[in-house]
Amino acid sequence: MRRRGPPFNFFIMSQIHYLTAEGLEKLRADLAKLIAQRPVISRQIAEARDKGDLSENAEYDAAKEAQGLLELKISKLEDTIANARVIDESKLGTDRVQMLNKVKIKNLKTGAVMEYTLVGESEANIAEGKLAAATPIGKALIGKKKGDVVEVKIPAGLVQFEILNISI
């Protein structure tokens, strides 16, 4: 017999999420869009229910699963927003690496130079040069100074990076 309701049981552990003011507003907008989808999915469930026998109704099962996934996304976003801490950019310094700093690093093995802005997980986007501070590289950089060499264990092995510059 197929189980009804959300596709899985998931407990969300609350933790502090560091965000920019812009990042927090984006999450709020995303949450509003997801909440606006609730009536649409409810209508899909009602229409599928009206088609008869629920035990063999694939439309009903799909709509219920979509509802469960939507509610999970909403719950996760609500948790992130509730536990968000907006970083005051006016209090940022460049003596040591911290959240929202732009950090220029050099891979000592390959000579490649990269620049990343350290952000919270929900704002991370490598294509935009935004690296989550919770990643192995981000963790290794936090608290270090210009000129420091950090060693990072990544899936490809150990990599050494030299911090070339810290800016805002």
Task: Read off the pLDDT of residues 52-89 as tens digits, 9 standing for 90 and up.
Answer: 766 677 888 888 899 999 999 999 999 888 888 887 77
**Residue 20: band (very low, low, confident or very high) from pLDDT cuts 50, 70, 90:** confident
Strand order in the sheet with 149-154: 130-132, 113-119, 102-107, 157-167, 149-154
Decide if domain 89-167 falls under CATH 3.30.70.80: no
Give the model's pLDDT for residue 23.
83
Q: Where are the domains of the chain?
A: 17-86, 89-167
Whole-prediction pTM: 0.61
Beta carbons within 10 angstroms of residue 118's beta carbon? 25
d(CA 142, CA 133): 8
Decide if domain 17-86 falls under CATH 1.10.287.180: yes
Give the model's pLDDT for residue 2.
45
